[in-house]
Amino acid sequence: MLLYAYVIQDNNEGLVNKHSLFKVGDTTSVAHKKTEKSLNTDTTAALDNDHHASRSFVFYAILLVIAIMLAISLTGFLRIRVISAHLDHVIHHQATQSAQMYEMRRASQDRLLILLAALIEPDPFTFDAHATAMGEAAERYMQARIPLMQMALNEQEHALLARQNDQTIQTGLYHTEVMNLLRDEQVSHAASVLISQTVPSQRLAMEMMDEFIQLKREQNLQTLQNTASSINNTYRLMLLLGGIGIVISLAIALVVSRRINNEMARRLRSEARLRKQELHERTIRDNIIDGVLTLHDDGRILSSNRACTTIFGYSKDALQGQLVSLLLPPARRQRLERRLPDYLRRWGARLTGTGKHFTCMRMDGSEFPAEMAISSISLDGEEVFIIVVRDISEQLAARQQLARMNQQLEHRVRERTEELSQANAMLRDEIDARVLNQQKLEHLAKHDSLTQLPNRANFSEQLDIAIHQARRHQRLVALLFLDLDGFKAINDQHGHGIGDKILIEVAQRLSLALRREDMVARMGGDEFTVLLREINKAEDATLVAQKLIETINRPYLIDEHLCQLGTSIGIAIFPHNARDPDNLLRLADDAMYAAKESGKNTWCLTAYTLSSPAQIQTAEAP
């Protein structure tokens, strides 16, 4: 950019090259031609020979310095790259092992949480779901452990993983024992095993996992320390090699400097008559794209190149001698002309060689954005400013076009994102609807559509389960068969709508009157069944039957109609009366009919046993 500085620093260039730089387009400087004719031919030849030798010496000296610096840089680069690659490999390997162990630890925690959930809410309906979830957690544990065991491990890590695996297997046995106890509804015993055996074993296994993770952290720390030590050694080696390179470079620079100084002295003596003209002519370079203006220290234009004519529309003669403020808009021109010399000096001192944006004006009055860079040099003791001007209209237009394209692209991205979000929302709604429909279908398959009580199929399934558990734990199960007394008359008198509402109210009363572990189901019409789990004696079933009779006997106010119902209840006990669900249900049904024959609104307990004839014990009518 600074053309005058080019002349001062270019002390190694030959006379022939210097002469060629005086050309402006297709014309040749007249002053240069006159000076060239005055040179002595023998002196020019001698200077050319010295210049060629000096250039060869400098060239090989620079190559030597570059080779030394490249060797030092490549040595450090390769060393650091090897250390970095080793560090990346070790850290990645150890991080992968830690991640696998974290996954094993989460899987073990999930098993314990699932076990706690099953213990807190021992519901037979969710037991299979808990068991499945524990199986999935165990599978995730094995999926994380198998890759970990296939990795390169030392003896300490192998031993630690072996002890941890043994402890985990023992913990798994405790988990299985607790789940078996929960399946058998031994909740208190399961809680005791969980607290006394499972939790301590789980804690010990997880402590071993944490010990493995801590070991990996210590190994990472040791690796980082070793790497830091290697890097420090590399830095010391680089400093040593750099010092050697600097010493060699200084020695070469000293020799080159002496050689150049000697040549400069000879050249300066021979070129004294040409210096003033060369320094003036070589500042004008019409073969560059940017406009170049040379200014006096008062701001008047000394010269301009051809590019200035293209940019501003003024000829060289029109610009010469004018203030540089002529190239600015009138509003800024008036403010700048009063302090132009001081402004040039401050601008040159602060922004030498750097660009600053201005709004300039052409000869026809049109304005355009431009970037200007200023430099100052001294010619024969006088300060001269050089301004390089570049028209940036096309650059700004391109930037604005790019900004508009980016905005359009962002708008399209936002639209596409919104479309995808809407599609995802619709898909989620459809999935939720399908899940809800599936749940409704499952509920309808096992529940009565009117009262929402379990239906006959669901009751038969639960009766089978209750008898199986009672047989296994040698407990009693009572089956109550209820038939409403007086319901047909209400249905005929008030209609099926009132009858349906009464059935719903009866279902709600029965559900509230029973324990949580007991079950009430609608068998059809006005017939209901009640399953009493874990009773201590047959008299407990009769007490529940009496309570249900009292519950149903309370008046019903349905749509301003006051209704009264009764119920006949038949009772059968497992295993006293029967050992299979079908016979137990049949005996309870027979007992219910016996209660109706004895006067209704009462209960009957069958006394049938496998070793005695059928007998029925009927309660006294209240």
Angle at 523 between CA 522 and CA 526, to 5 degrees: 75
Q: How far apart are CA 131 and CA 139, in angstroms?
A: 12
In the three-class reduction of DSSP (H, G, I as helix; E, B as strand; rest coil), residue 482 is classed as strand
Nearest 5°: the CA angle 43, 45, 49 is 115
List residues with catalytic annotation. Answer: 526
Residues in Cβ contact with 133 at an 8 Å cutoff, skipping those fewer than 6 apart: 110, 114
Q: Is residue 22 classed as helix, strand or coil in its secondary structure? A: coil
CA angle 471, 476, 479 (to 5 degrees): 105
The pairing of beta strand 616-618 with beta strand 603-606: antiparallel
467 closest CA partner among 548, 582, 570, 544: 582
Q: What is the rounded distance in angstroms from the CA atom of residue 482 to the CA atom of residue 603?
A: 9
Own/partner pairs, 452-460, CB within 8 angstroms, 24+ separation: 452/507, 453/507, 453/511, 453/520, 453/521, 453/522, 453/528, 454/519, 454/520, 454/521, 454/522, 455/521, 455/522, 456/521, 456/523, 456/524, 458/521, 459/519, 459/521, 459/523, 459/529, 459/531, 460/581
> Residue 519 — left, alpha, or beta (φ > 0 → left; ψ -120 to 50 → alpha)?
beta
CA 238 to chain centre: 40
> What tokens appear for 520 in the block?
């009430």
Residue type present at position 92: H
Question: Which residue matches tokens 């040379």?
Answer: 294
Q: Which helix (H) or strand (E) holds 54?
A: helix 41-120
Indicate the burial class of 327 (C-beta count within 10 angstroms; 0-12, 13-18, 19 or more): buried
